[in-house]
Amino acid sequence: MEFLEHINSAIQKLILNSPFHETFSEQTAVVYFTDPTCGKEISFTANYIQEGNRVCVIGKKDAIDWKKFNQSALVHMLIKGEKHQGWAEPVSEPGKFFESLNANDKKRIEIIRRMKSSIDSEKDLSASEIKVLISEYRILLITID
């Protein structure tokens, strides 16, 4: 399964780093950061929600590229064909972060929609189903310059 994740990630990065980025990036960004343990640049694709200079990045917790992002860091991002730089803070407890959002908050609604798309669910989810779904994700809050 890791092999397929690498292939999928490589294809997404290829498209998102191409002139077609804006066409395909309504919901997907490329995030670049330096691995603090070895100094190597790592990148991953992820769903995002942007409100002004704040970006909420959502990704599967077990995704290979996400595993190395476990502390605050300077990041570069490619969003809709534009390069950005910012400071990323991993949300240590996504469930609590999610619960802190008002039930009618557009960000909360959009997070659920993006996560539901990963399980191909059109039905409304119960509070307990949402809690389980959120536990499978990591969230980064990024303030871009």
Helix (H, G, I), strand (E, B) or coil at 90: strand
Which CATH number characterizes residue 131's domain?
2.30.110.10
Half-sphere exposure of 4 (CA within 13 A, CB side): 1
Is residue 14's pLDDT more than 70? no
Alpha-carbon Rg for the chain, nearest whole angstrom, is 15
Interior CA angle at 47 toward 32 and 38, to 5°?
A: 25
pLDDT in tens, 131-144: 787 888 888 899 99
Domain count, the chain: 1
CA 22, CA 24: separation in Å to the nearest integer?
6
Number of other CB atoms surrounding residue 59 within 10 Å: 20
Query: Is the per-residue pLDDT at 76 higher than 90?
Result: yes
81-133 confidence digits (pLDDT tens): 889 999 999 888 887 787 777 766 777 777 777 776 665 555 677 778 777 87
Range of the domain at 112: 2-144
